[in-house]
Structure 1
Amino acid sequence: MSVNMPKTILLVDDDAHLLDGFRRWLCSAFNIRTFSVPAEALSVIRQEGPFPVIVSDMRMPDMDGLTLLRCVRRCHPESVCIMLTGDSDQELAVQALNEGHIFRFLKKPCPSDALRTAIEDGLGEYHNRCLQSGFQYRLYHDGQTLTDVEVGPGCLAVTGYTGADLMDNPRQWEELTLLEDRLRLRMFYTDAHEGRPVEPIEYRLCRKDQTMIWVRNTLLRRQSDAEGCRLCLEGQLQDVTERKRSEQQSEFLAQFPKENPNPVLRVNAEGRVIYANDAGAPLLEMWDRQVGQLLPQELYEVVLNARHSGSPLTYEQKCRDRYYAIVCAPVRDCEDVNLYARDITEIKRAEIELRRANRELVEHDRLKSEFVSTVTHELRTPLCIFRNIISNALAGVHGPVSKSLKQNLEMAQQGVERLARIISDFLDVSKIESGSLQIELCQCSLNDLIDETCLSLEPLAAARKIRIYTALPDESVTALVDRDHIVQVLVNLIGNAIKFIPQRGRIDVSLERNEQEATIRVRDNGPGLTQEEMGRIFDRFVQAKIFKGPGEHGTGLGLTISRALVQMHGGKLWVQSEEGNGCEFVFTIPKQSICKKTLSVTTNSVFNQ
């Protein structure tokens, strides 16, 4: 609350000439009233106050300045008191300053600019006092009735009544309280009188201008006065109207989610629960809290973080056999935070079941990989025996071979070679998954690798009347790579194109470079891929349906292995295609060297991507 800001300044001094001088110095800036008799000044102050600033001499007949200002302090604690002193009075002035009776003291003779500055500072202090939202008080009881009331600065701003109003009529203190709240207030003071502990109480007051406000009354101490005849209660009254309005608004807004089957709560800046709907009862019970009490500290910290960040935060909590997700959402233009809780028990149970299933899948995958590795290793030995027997038979080691037998042996040899490639793919997959695939880096010419690979695949391409063209830089492009694995990638990409594009097709292999990496492209003029196929082409055991031609179909692991090998070198492999317009597989190889240890550690994660 604020009050009107009069600028009338009271000057009290028994020296008429000094008062005339003060009036001349200050009349241009302030409304000045002067008094040479302290009693007359005090009477005007009680009847017409408060005055923002009162300047008084220390030594005057009938009543000294300190006594005058102490009386002013009781009547109008908001008024700012300044004292004029001589050399002999400075000790008393310092004591009065320390006790809070005066705002400042000035030594006589006082220059006009010093007095003007002190008055302007006093007006600023008066303004601050009039904006206070609380004040301290003292109530004196003789055992039966309230005999006296003393209030501090802020009473006028909060209640509209001056200290003089309450001094003249102590009963006014109780009459300020709304009739419906007076019984609670009496019980509060009764408990305080009898020495029982009391909690702060909130109730409604009617101000002098008839407006209603909410206040919070806190007892500070209980003691007897200096004579021991009266009991003194010291307390503090704080205007909490704005907070109450906010709480009432919160309660009003909370009517909307009242029928919500999910818990909805609101907490204030202190972390105190000011509203909870019916569905919030289980949470309050879990926290052992009620509306009006503070949240558990752990949750309050989440609320604080949400309010400071200005964004909702989610907190999960288990309540017996139920799980709740609690969203802490700051309220706009307010320090309150809404808590929206949702029962996520079924979701959590599903997550637990999913994690269990994932663990089982991981274990099954491990067993599968172990099985594949074992079986493929076991197959390699008899396969080598079959290969040698067939090779020796075709070479005539065991005697002449008829034409029909030779054809059968060649068919068997092709089947053995295909089976060998399948076993090799499975072994590569097993090593990549286990992270045991080794990379042996060496400085190689990528031009030479491409030329050698294309030359080795020429017979296969010629059998299907497919031409392979290369576009390589004149200057050799070198990189630190595993020679065999890069050749494996090239064979896979070019070999796929040979197998799956129509006869008399064309394959272009190009090499480009920049400062960071080399880029190799393998492009064909085949049927191309659909968008769906491009999204899955690098997955394990996937083969595009649109691949046509009489060529054999493999295991669907070649592109998966190729991408893993390229990524292990720090590069990328991707495909670009339009259906009916051919495919282009592109992969990059960084020029910088790559630590072998890093490669072996990351192979598993690279493959799983």
Structure 2
Amino acid sequence: MKTSTPARINLALGLGAAMVLIVAMAAYSTIDKLVNDAQQSLKLQQSTTLLERVGRSLANAESTQRRFLIEASDENLFGYEDARSGVVAVLSQLRAADEVNGADPKLPALAGSVDRRLGMLDEAVRARRAEGLTAASMVVNSDVNRQLKEEIDSLSESLVNDNMQDLARAQAGGHADAQQTELLVAGAGLLTLLLILGALKSIHHYHATQQRAEDKLRDSEAMSRALTLGMAEGVVTTSEDGVITEANPAALKLFGYTRHEMLGSQVTHLMPERHRGQFDMLLDDLRARKSGFSEAGREVLAMRKDGSEFPVTVSFGDVVVAGKRLFSAIVHDITERVRTEEALQASEYQLRQITDSVPALIAYLDRDGRYIFHNKAYGQVVRPRDGVILGKTLQEVLGEVMYQEIRPNVERVLAGEPVSYERTQGSSELGERDYAVSYVPRYEDENQQGQVMGFIALATDITAMKRMDRMKTEFVSTVSHELRTPLTSIRGSLGLIAGGVAGQLPPAAQGLVDIAKNNCERLIRLINDILDVEKIESGQMRLALQTVALQPLLGQAMAANEGFAGQHGVTLRLQAPDEAVLVSVDTDRLTQVFTNLLSNAVKFSPQSDVVEITLSVRAQHVRVEVRDHGPGIPAEFQSRIFQKFSQADSSDTRQKGGTGLGLSISKAIVERMDGSIGFDNPPGGGTVFYFELPRIAEPAAAIPGASARPGAPGTRPRILVCEDDGDVARLIVLMLEKVGFYADVAHGAERALVMLGEQPYDAMTVDLALLPDQGGAALIAAVRRNAHIANLPIVVISVSAGQARLRPDHQGLGVSDWIEKPINEQLMVRSLRGAIHGVPAGRPRILHVEDDLDIQRIAAAITQEFASFEFATTVQEARVALQAQHFDLVLLDLSLPGGSGWDLFPDIDALPYHPPVVVFSATDVAEADDRGAAAILVKAHTSNEELLSTIQRVLKNSSVKPATPAKSATPATESRDS
């Protein structure tokens, strides 16, 4: 059946309509996709532009910040804050665009890195303001800062690459869709001419859509152009052959060209001629790359129109416009940044040159204990196995063991406390060395407030200093000990001469002997002070603490110093409570302290003045004050008055005498006895020195061993003088003190009994007839009835002594000797010594082992009245003598030719009769090393009287029967009986 024309037309129209509909639908879908692709391309270009702006803004912020670090001007600081705000603003735009386009997981990482980078920039600014360019340089050049920069560059490049790839895919898809639509329309035109109208209509519709897309594209380009117009960085667009097609105002200003001059010129005109060949190679490389690439942060040298050169960073990318591929370059002037970096590098170089030339170990560590800086010397001494220190923690570099040792010091400095200590550090090159180490905290601001940011470690090599200090100490000790022996000879000889051993001296000769004796004592005191300082510093000072009443001790020291005070026209006055004040002290050392304070007060007091001594009880402490009315202590000297060798004026050494050691030694002694010492400047002028000691609550009667004082090794005998006549009492005291006794006076029997209860005495003198409150005989009887003092030796000194000793009622009093007035001084002294010590029957024989012949002669002269001496100068001679003869006592020096005196103790212990040994040496002996010696005496500390009394005491307490005098001396000994 044939179809009618209308039907064919209708069919054709229907088919044409269907074809038009199909073509229209396909064209509409394709066009809609093209529009979407165009919009997506626009968004990707905007995102890429914003990413590049982030990098440029951050670079601008860094540049302005570097200018501030160099110049530290407010103008640069404001510029940095504006640039920083620009980074934050661009970053916010990028975040907003990302929310519209679809979140990219890399963008938060980039934003976080940018925020931390801004934080590092801010930290450098704070460091510059707080501590200066060096501290800021440490922050700028830190590993953390460089890592953040690399991380930002990497993320930016990755995001730009992603955008470019998406843009390329969108553009490729649009081209493919357009080709499919054209084929579809062409095929439809071949099927029927009736579809022409539909095709024309569809084409018209297509072109309309295309026009709209192009309009949007032009709007996008206009927007992009507007963005580049407002950018601070220069933007230059070129063709593939390097011809400049576009440049924003910033680029024109940067290079000094007008728009007309720049457009159409070769881009190589913007760089020095010597670098143009390299750029041609770069252009070839860019052309060879795939579309959508980006490259950020290449540093090159650019050239302005006037020929001046300047450094820039260039970020490259490409874009296809109207089918043409164009290259874009974002140019940032980094002149200021380079200048800042060069200045920082120069500053860092200068700092390193300085620190490397300093003979000390220097390092800086942050709050986490991680090394930020160290000098060359530090790296040479503190060298880990891999040789790397920077960036590591203190624990990693030093090792766990050493770190745990210094950890408390690190914690203290991080808490804001400066720390100083000493430690030993070993290295393979230098060996084991001693260092004085200091840690100094570093704060956030220059006012040393706020959080501690880290600390500076400074270590000084003190190995040589400590070695020299040890050598000095050993030298002083050796010289001082070597001086003791000849000084002992000089002192002993002068004492014997002054005592009349060579007969009565003419007045002129007596004066010269007194001068020599006084200066000898002065030199001995100096040597003893030096050795005391050595003992204190080495921790070898030993104290023999015992509980004693303080008032008698002060009285004895005052009595001993009254002669010195009289020479200066000064009077000593004591104010103390009547009841006994007990303390636990080393009596000799406390007497040394009190004597030092008294002598200082006397020396600095005006003529006819009074030095006031006050004893007071304060709660659980006892306070002794010594006040003078002299010139006082200058303010500038007060802080170092207790330091060694300190004196207010160097002229004081000549005017007042002394070495400046006394107060330093006194402070150490008092503190060793759990006390304290200090001084005040009272309103009335002068100075008050005081010391405080813990008070002992027990009464004197309860003190163990309180009555055991007589005969204590190395102490001076104490005598109680019972005499109502003040002049006679004073005369007896002077006689006793002259020969080395301590003496106290009681003017009545009742007072004598009180003093005997407060203080142990070695002996007592009593006047029988003249005591006002009780007779002398009654006093002696009362003493014998008291179990604590019943055995006290008593010597009667009285006008009626000769008659009184014959009375029957006086026979049982136990009097050691009766001496008539007027007093025979030598008889009194000899009687008291005999009463205190006693001597075995017969004449004792003493072996004196001593290589110094002068000391031998002096010792023999001192004991000539009651003992005979044999001498040995070496250990071997002494051994021969001990085997050949019987001795009652061995007087032993420790430093002998060919051996030590200690070597003789086994020989002495092997003898059947075991004679006691008295060590008499220039060397101090520790209590733990006494080897069973009966007494230990130091030559420079021992007077003639003390040597004599010690020998007598040891002989009295010895169980050895008196020796029978030898018929002849052995060849190895020399008899020198005197």
TM range (shorter): 0.3 to 0.5
TM-score under structure 2 normalisation? 0.31
Higher strand share: 1
TM-score under structure 1 normalisation? 0.48
Higher helix share: 2
Q: Please say which structure displays the higher CA radius of gyration.
A: 2
